[in-house]
Amino acid sequence: MAVTIPDHLFGKLPFYDVVDTDDMVVVDLHNRPDLTNIRGALQGGLVATLIDIAAGRLAVKYAGHLAGAATSDMTIHFLAPIMTGPARATATLVRAGRRSIVVAVDVIDVGADRHAARATVSFAVLEPR
């Protein structure tokens, strides 16, 4: 698997690309001791970051040539801790408009075969620079 952004902090965590198509983006984050909370679960803020990365990568595909997309709202329902890992975020398009894009993201703990989180992320479509 390729590291999502090699020369960035995200490449050091690292986030791994699993699937990247026009319809879906799937990104993994491996669970390791320096990324866990005191109970041994992947830290929730990192799960939120994983969700934002997967959703954002899909949103920019629908934003248009030279435009961008900025997260404007994110709702996450944490369903179960990610104890085994990797955490796998699967982003799918809900709606793409001229000014906003909405993406759904499901996160599973691959090793435990358990649904860990469900999120909806809204993006504002930015004007081209």
Residue 85 lies in a domain: yes
Residue 60 lies in a domain: yes
pLDDT in tens, 3-50: 666 677 776 777 899 999 999 999 999 999 999 999 999 999 999 999
111 or 127: which leads in pLDDT: 111
Residue 95 lies in a domain: yes
Residue 29 lies in a domain: yes
Which candidate, 118, 67, 119, places its Cα nearest to that of 97? 67
Residue 89 lies in a domain: yes
Residue 2 lies in a domain: no
User: For the purposes of burial, counting CB atoms within 10 Å of the CB of 76, is it exposed (0-12), middle (13-18) or buried (19 or more)?
Assistant: middle
Residue 79 lies in a domain: yes
The total of structural domains in the chain comes to 1
Q: Answer yes or no: pTM beyond 0.75.
A: yes
Residue 4 lies in a domain: no
Task: Give the whole-angstrom CA distance, residue 42 versus residue 30.
Answer: 9
Which candidate, 102, 125, 117, 126, places its Cα nearest to that of 51? 117
